[in-house]
């Protein structure tokens, strides 16, 4: 797509979107003049085109109007395809040779893959709300199948690949959409599109393939690939080598997108602008539990797009890429923006809060030699249908008062705080636990309780019992979370009736617990509307130790504050 009324001979920088969810729609009504029919996305091309950028939107292999077979998400041949298209774009008479790429979620991850391919002229990319590690960030967080998302995403892709609108499209979009838009040369006969749709029947069913995966080294369907092979970190060497500037966006409350931003920020040395807010997956509404549901995002969408334009103007047009690295982050509870050029923050202190008698939580270490709390897993426990994992399939991001849900969980709650406490970074929980079953899912939630008793979700972590072993080697990226390999050779059943130690990293956050509020840690064995049930039939009873020899606890990254 080119700007309207482009003078002959004008050469422009080009922005690429590599699309999994149709690059363009064929509508049942006449096209709107001057509007980009860009599938189920926000109309960013309508913003960029009049600002002097060309847009190239590509259907990934085996999807949309492209031929071929999609044997897995993010298959290696996809990246080769994108590099080939990018090289072609640079040769077009309307392109000045400078390229950028951007996108949300899958398409943001493809932007990073293009940056790793070494295509001449790729000068800046904007990955937004991405999954950097497919296993840990989206498919099996903590080794537990993210069943609700994977099923909905797989069903959606199957419909799209058959040429039908997805059930995840808004109702009006489904009614107005005939199917994927053929390429212009194919519109009279649709011969190429019909061939493509016929080839898509061979695409791998994602839900079936992922449902068979337990370990990182399991293979995805018949592809021969592991989830590691499909992850952005498989392209780390290319990202390091080519040092394309990155403008990364994430949310503390959208899947593992904040952790993905922090991994990029800490792992790579090239110029980076990193932004972590508190919005839903599409960045169109606020998601902070301290805001009204559906509140406008901060910054507003127009401001987001303006920032993206500035980045591409500097990198693709002015040849003035950013210098160094800067992280802009939003602090929940305080509802303010801050910035840093290093992470973890340099004034961080690790503060330990111990589980205590009467389900208390305090900084005083336990003194009892033997003390436990009993909990029988409640498989009706849930974080709802608008949580950080469900927003990734076009749902709102809303965490309502969790007081009622917490009655289904084992909780530990502090006394009211005597002063504000800012937590920014990676909370880490250590559980000393005994189970009646040889496997289980362990969910841990960090929550804020205000003086009126409203319980607000802050963040969470999870771990499957068989994956409890901590790795002897470093992960393939920098992270503040404990690293469990989740490989077959490192797995082991829980020894029934014997105490084990589980170290669970929670998704990173930035939150201000205000004076008078209380901190709560809540423990569950299920999240029924999101994750697969483990074990499938039995109901475990747990004993959580809180003794001097087995002190279950949470360690919080506390940031020093200057009191007014």
CA distance 223 to 205: 11
| Residue 254 known to be catalytic | yes
State the chain's maximal CA–CA distance in angstroms: 83
Are β-strands 553-559 and 336-340 bridged in parallel, bridged antiparallel, or unpaired? unpaired
CB burial string 221-248: b at 16+ within 10 A, e below: bebebbbbbbbbbbbbebbeeeebbbbb
CA distance 323 to 340: 14
32 token code pair: 């709107």
Question: Does the pLDDT of residue 253 top 80, yes or no?
Answer: yes
Q: Which of 121-135, 158-172, 459-473 has the lowest mean pLDDT?
A: 158-172
418-431: average pLDDT: 98
Question: Does the pLDDT of residue 564 top 50, yes or no?
Answer: no
Kindly indicate the confidence band of residue 254, based on its pLDDT and cuts at 50, 70 and 90. Answer: very high
Mean pLDDT for the chain?
A: 96
Q: Is residue 544 part of a domain?
A: yes
Query: What pLDDT sits at residue 127?
Result: 98
Strand, helix or coil for residue 529:
coil
Active-site residue, selected from the candidate residues 200, 281, 286, 432: 281
* Residues above pLDDT 90, as percent of the chain: 92
As for how many domains the chain has, the answer is: 2
Q: Please tell me whether residues 324 and 352 are part of one structural domain.
A: no
| Residue 373 known to be catalytic | no
φ, ψ for residue 138, nearest 5 deg: -145, -45
425-445: average pLDDT: 98
Q: Please tell me whether residues 333 and 357 are part of one structural domain.
A: no
Question: Does the pLDDT of residue 272 top 80, yes or no?
Answer: yes
pTM for the structure as a whole: 0.97
CB 2 within 8 A of CB 94: yes
Domain boundary among the residues 340, 363, 398 is at 340
Long-range contacts of 178-185 (CB under 8 A, 24+ apart): 178/25, 178/26, 178/27, 178/28, 179/25, 179/26, 180/22, 180/23, 180/24, 180/25, 180/26, 180/59, 180/64, 180/65, 181/22, 181/23, 181/24, 181/25, 181/26, 181/37, 181/65, 182/26, 182/65, 183/65
Q: Is residue 7 part of a domain?
A: no
Q: What is the CATH number of the domain that holds 167?
A: 3.40.50.1820
Q: Is residue 564 part of a domain?
A: no
* Residue position matching structure tokens 């395809």: 81
Question: Does the pLDDT of residue 45 top 80, yes or no?
Answer: yes
In sequence order, what DSSP letters do the residues of 439-487 get, joined into one string? --EEEEEEEEE-TT--EEEEEEEEEEGGG-PPPSS--SS--SS------
Kindly indicate the confidence band of residue 140, based on its pLDDT and cuts at 50, 70 and 90. Answer: very high
Closest to 38 measured CA to CA, from 30, 48, 26: 26
CB 446 within 8 A of CB 460: yes
Q: Is residue 21 part of a domain?
A: yes
Active-site residue, selected from the candidate residues 105, 231, 414, 510: 105
Q: Please tell me whether residues 256 and 370 are part of one structural domain.
A: no
Question: Does the pLDDT of residue 505 top 60, yes or no?
Answer: yes
Q: Please tell me whether residues 271 and 369 are part of one structural domain.
A: no
> Radius of gyration over alpha carbons of the chain, in Å?
24
Q: Please tell me whether residues 194 and 281 are part of one structural domain.
A: yes
Q: Please tell me whether residues 95 and 45 are part of one structural domain.
A: yes
Q: Please tell me whether residues 195 and 215 are part of one structural domain.
A: yes
Give tens-digit pLDDT for 206-222: 999 999 999 999 999 99
Give tens-digit pLDDT for 479-498: 999 999 999 999 999 999 99
Domain boundary among the residues 300, 321, 340 is at 340
Q: Using the 8-state DSSP alphabet, how is residue 150 labeled?
A: H
In sequence order, what DSSP letters do the residues of 85-148 get, joined into one string? HHHHHHTSTTEEEEEEEEEETHHHHHHHHHHHTT-TTEEEEEEES--SSHIIIIISGGG---HH
Q: Is residue 3 part of a domain?
A: no
Question: Does the pLDDT of residue 119 top 70, yes or no?
Answer: yes
Strand, helix or coil for residue 525:
coil
Give tens-digit pLDDT for 391-409: 998 899 999 999 999 999 9
Query: What pLDDT sits at residue 40?
Result: 76
Strand, helix or coil for residue 171:
helix
Q: Please tell me whether residues 385 and 332 are part of one structural domain.
A: no
Q: Please tell me whether residues 401 and 286 are part of one structural domain.
A: no
Q: Please tell me whether residues 332 and 410 are part of one structural domain.
A: no
Q: Please tell me whether residues 368 and 288 are part of one structural domain.
A: no
Q: Judging by beta carbons within 10 Å of its beta carbon (0-12, 13-18, 19+), is residue 159 exposed, middle or buried?
A: middle
Give tens-digit pLDDT for 532-549: 999 999 999 999 999 999
Q: Is residue 510 part of a domain?
A: yes
Active-site residue, selected from the candidate residues 59, 137, 254, 406: 254
CA distance 278 to 305: 17
Query: What pLDDT sits at residue 563?
Result: 56
Q: What is the CATH number of the domain that holds 424?
A: 2.60.120.260
CA distance 477 to 176: 44
Q: Is residue 336 part of a domain?
A: yes
Write down the H helix ranges in 286-326. Answer: 301-312
Question: Does the pLDDT of residue 561 top 50, yes or no?
Answer: yes
CA distance 448 to 17: 39
Signed CA dihedral, 132, 137, 138, 143: sign only: positive
| Residue 281 known to be catalytic | yes
343-362: average pLDDT: 97
Are β-strands 348-356 and 553-559 bridged in parallel, bridged antiparallel, or unpaired? antiparallel
Contacting residues for 171 by C-beta, under 8 A, at least 6 apart = none
Q: Is residue 77 part of a domain?
A: yes
- Domain range enclosing 35: 12-340
CA distance 449 to 492: 37
Q: Please tell me whether residues 262 and 282 are part of one structural domain.
A: yes
Domain boundary among the residues 311, 340, 369 is at 340
CA distance 204 to 23: 20
């Amino acid at each position: 797509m080119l700007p309207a009324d482009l003078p002959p001979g004008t050469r422009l920088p080009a922005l690429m979107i590599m699309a999994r969810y149709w690059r363009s729609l064929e509508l049942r009504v006449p096209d709107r003049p001057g509007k980009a029919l860009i599938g189920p996305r926000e109309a960013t091309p309508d913003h960029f085109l009049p600002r002097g950028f060309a847009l190239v939107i590509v259907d990934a292999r085996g999807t949309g109007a492209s031929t071929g077979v999609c044997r897995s998400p993010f298959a290696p041949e996809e990246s080769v395809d994108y590099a080939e298209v990018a090289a072609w774009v640079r040769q077009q008479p309307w392109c000045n040779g400078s390229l950028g790429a951007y996108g949300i979620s899958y398409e943001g991850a493809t932007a990073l893959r293009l940056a790793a391919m070494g295509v001449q002229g790729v000068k800046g990319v904007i990955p937004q709300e991405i999954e950097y590690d497919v296993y840990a960030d989206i498919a099996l967080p903590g080794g537990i199948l993210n069943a609700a998302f994977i099923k909905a995403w797989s069903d959606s892709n199957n419909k799209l690949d058959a040429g039908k609108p997805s059930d995840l499209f808004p109702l009006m979009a489904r009614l107005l959409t005939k199917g994927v838009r053929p390429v212009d040369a194919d519109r009279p006969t649709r011969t190429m599109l019909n061939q493509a749709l016929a080839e898509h029947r061979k695409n791998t069913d994602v839900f079936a393939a992922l449902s068979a995966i337990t370990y990182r080294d399991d293979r995805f369907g018949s592809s021969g690939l592991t989830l590691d092979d499909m992850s952005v970190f498989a392209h780390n060497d290319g990202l390091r080598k080519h040092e394309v500037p990155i403008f990364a966006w994430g949310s503390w409350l959208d899947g593992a997108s904040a952790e993905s931003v922090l991994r990029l920020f800490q792992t790579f040395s090239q110029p980076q602008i990193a932004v972590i807010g508190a919005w839903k997956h599409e960045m169109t509404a606020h998601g902070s539990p301290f805001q009204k549901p559906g509140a406008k995002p901060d910054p507003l969408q127009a401001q987001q797009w303006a920032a993206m334009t500035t980045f591409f103007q500097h990198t693709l047009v002015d040849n003035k890429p950013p210098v160094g690295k800067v992280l802009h982050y939003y602090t929940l509870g305080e509802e303010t923006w801050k910035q840093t050029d290093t992470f973890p923050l340099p004034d961080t202190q690790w503060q330990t809060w111990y589980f205590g008698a009467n389900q208390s939580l305090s900084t005083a270490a336990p003194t009892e030699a033997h003390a436990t709390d009993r909990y029988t897993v409640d498989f009706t426990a849930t974080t709802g249908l608008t949580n950080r994992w469900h927003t990734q399939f076009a749902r709102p991001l809303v965490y309502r008062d969790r007081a009622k849900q917490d009655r289904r969980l084992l909780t530990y709650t502090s006394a009211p705080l005597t002063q504000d406490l800012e937590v920014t970074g990676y909370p880490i929980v250590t559980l000393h636990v005994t189970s009646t079953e040889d496997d289980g899912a362990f969910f841990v939630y960090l929550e804020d309780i205000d003086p009126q008793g409203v319980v607000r979700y802050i963040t969470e972590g999870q771990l499957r019992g068989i994956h409890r072993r901590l790795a002897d080697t470093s992960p393939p990226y920098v992270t503040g979370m404990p690293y469990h390999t989740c490989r077959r050779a490192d797995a082991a059943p829980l020894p029934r009736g014997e105490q084990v130690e589980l170290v669970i990293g929670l998704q990173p956050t930035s939150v201000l617990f205000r004076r008078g509020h209380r901190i709560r840690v809540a423990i569950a064995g299920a999240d029924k509307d999101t994750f697969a049930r483990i074990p499938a039939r039995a109901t475990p009873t747990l004993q959580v130790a809180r003794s001097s020899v087995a002190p279950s606890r949470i360690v919080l990254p506390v940031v020093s504050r200057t009191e007014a």
